[in-house]
Amino acid sequence: MRKILLHVIIVFSFSILIIGCNLTNNESTDNSLLSNGYIFTKNNHLTNDQVTKLINLSSIREKGYVVIISTSIYKKNRKVNALKQQFYYYDIMAVHVLNKDIKTGLKKSDIIMLEKAKIICFVGNGSKSFFNWAVKFRLRKYLLNAKKNGALIAGRKEVISRLKLQ
């Protein structure tokens, strides 16, 4: 009888330990969705859960808009359009795409748009030419101003780190 009771206690303790580890893992996954105003993607796009989290944590439903920035050098990007559709699905219709001009940089209206956005999303891995463009036209400065104004920023951790936003 003592052996059986001891086995039950060991199995029960082991089960509690495993469940506790799984809960801790799930919590860290949820917490990694928002880290100091940033949401990091594991691949080149935001999941529905991440889009929902961005919408719920921002004041976008009250006022404001989303800005999507493609880190690709190509003008047309399917992932940008797919992300726009995700926001539209959640009735967020004010979604702007930053049109980068490699030669002229950012217009005054682009800067104002960035600094007043509620959500800024990066789509893509980030090409060398994108980062060169970002440095040349001081994109980091405008993104940090947006962050000070309460914007949430989402994208690949490598992109956000390389822009020195974190």
Residue 54: CATH number of its domain: 3.40.50.880
User: Is 109 found in the same domain as 42?
Assistant: yes
User: Is 52 found in the same domain as 106?
Assistant: yes
User: Is 25 found in the same domain as 70?
Assistant: no
Structural domains counted in the chain: 2
User: Is 43 found in the same domain as 25?
Assistant: no
User: Is 39 found in the same domain as 28?
Assistant: no
CA atoms within 13 A on the CB side of 13: 6
User: Is 47 found in the same domain as 106?
Assistant: yes
> For each of the chain's 166 residues, which pLDDT tens digit applies?
666 655 545 544 444 444 444 333 333 334 345 667 788 887 767 888 999 999 999 999 999 999 999 988 776 778 899 999 999 999 999 999 998 877 788 999 999 999 999 999 999 877 888 899 999 999 999 999 999 999 999 998 888 888 888 6
Quote the pLDDT of residue 95. 96
User: Is 92 found in the same domain as 50?
Assistant: yes
Which domain does 12 fall in, by range? 1-32
User: Is 92 found in the same domain as 113?
Assistant: yes
Query: Crossing angle for the helix pair 78-89 and 48-57, nearest 10 degrees?
Result: 60
The three-class DSSP label of residue 119 is: strand
Quote the pLDDT of residue 23. 37
Nearest-angstrom CA–CA distance, 51 and 4:
50
CA dihedral over 23, 28, 34, 39, signed as positive or negative: negative
User: Is 101 found in the same domain as 65?
Assistant: yes
- Count the Cβ atoms, other than its own, within 10 Å of residue 161: 13
User: Is 53 found in the same domain as 24?
Assistant: no
